[in-house]
A and B are shown apart, each in its own frame.
Chain A
Amino acid sequence: MSSAMLNLILKATLDTLYMVGVSGLVAALLGVPLGVLLYITRPRQILAKPLTNQVLGVITNIGRSVPFIILMVAIIPFTRMIVGTSIGTNAAIVPLTIAAIPFVARLVEGALNEIPPGLIEAAQSMGATPYQIITKVLLPEAKSGIVTGLTITVVTLISYSAMAGAVGGGGLGDLGIRYGYNRFDPLIMLITVAILVVMVQGFQSLGDHLVRKADHK
Chain B
Amino acid sequence: MIRLTNVSKTYGNGPTAIAALKNIDLHVPRGSIHGVIGLSGAGKSTLIRCVNLLERPTTGSVVVDGQELTTLSAAELNQARHQIGMIFQHFNLLASRTVFANIALPLELMGMDKVEIRDRVMPLLDLTGLEDKADKYPAELSGGQKQRVAIARALASRPKVLLCDEATSALDPQTTGSILELLQDINRKLGLTILLITHEMEVVKTICHRVGLISAGELVEEADVGDFFTAPRTRLGREFLNDFLELEPPKALVERLEEAAGEHTHPVVRLAFTGDAVSTPLVSRLARECGVDVSILQAKVESIQDRTLGLMIAELIGTPDKTREALAYLESHDLHVEVLGHVQRDA
Q: Which residues of A contact B (CB under 8 A)?
A: 116, 118-119, 121-129, 132, 136-137, 140-141, 143, 214, 216-217
Contact = CB atoms under 8 A, between A and B. Distances in A.
Given A141-B95, A214-B96, A125 B109 contact: no
A136 B109 contact: yes
A119 B86 CA distance: 12
10 contacts: A118-B88, A122-B86, A122-B88, A123-B109, A124-B54, A126-B105, A127-B82, A128-B109, A136-B105, A216-B138
A140 B96 contact: yes
B109 A216 contact: no
B90 to A, nearest CB: 6
Contacts of B90: 116, 118
Interface in B8-64: 52, 54
A125 B81 contact: yes
A124 B52 CA distance: 9
Interface of B: 52, 54, 74-75, 77-82, 84-86, 88, 90, 92, 94-97, 105-106, 108-110, 137-139, 153, 157, 163
Given A127-B79, A127-B82, 12 more contacts: A116-B92, A118-B88, A118-B92, A119-B92, A125-B163, A127-B106, A129-B78, A140-B97, A141-B95, A141-B96, A217-B95, A217-B139
B105 to A, nearest CB: 7
Majority secondary structure of chain B interface residues (helix, strand, loop or mixed): mixed
Nearest to A118: B92
A60 B306 CA distance: 64
A213 to B, nearest CB: 11
Nearest to B74: A129
B81 A126 contact: yes
A118 B79 CA distance: 20
B18 to A, nearest CB: 15
> Which 4 residue pairs across A and B have the least CB separation, nearest first?
A127-B81, A127-B78, A122-B92, A118-B92
A141 B94 contact: yes
A216 B105 contact: no
A87 B138 CA distance: 52
A118 B86 CA distance: 12
A86 B163 CA distance: 62
Contact of A216 (B78, B79, B96): B96
A137 B97 CA distance: 10
A40 to B, nearest CB: 15
A84 to B, nearest CB: 43
B9 to A, nearest CB: 15
Contact of B92 (A121, A129, A136, A214): A121
Contact of B96 (A121, A122, A143): A143
A128 B139 contact: no
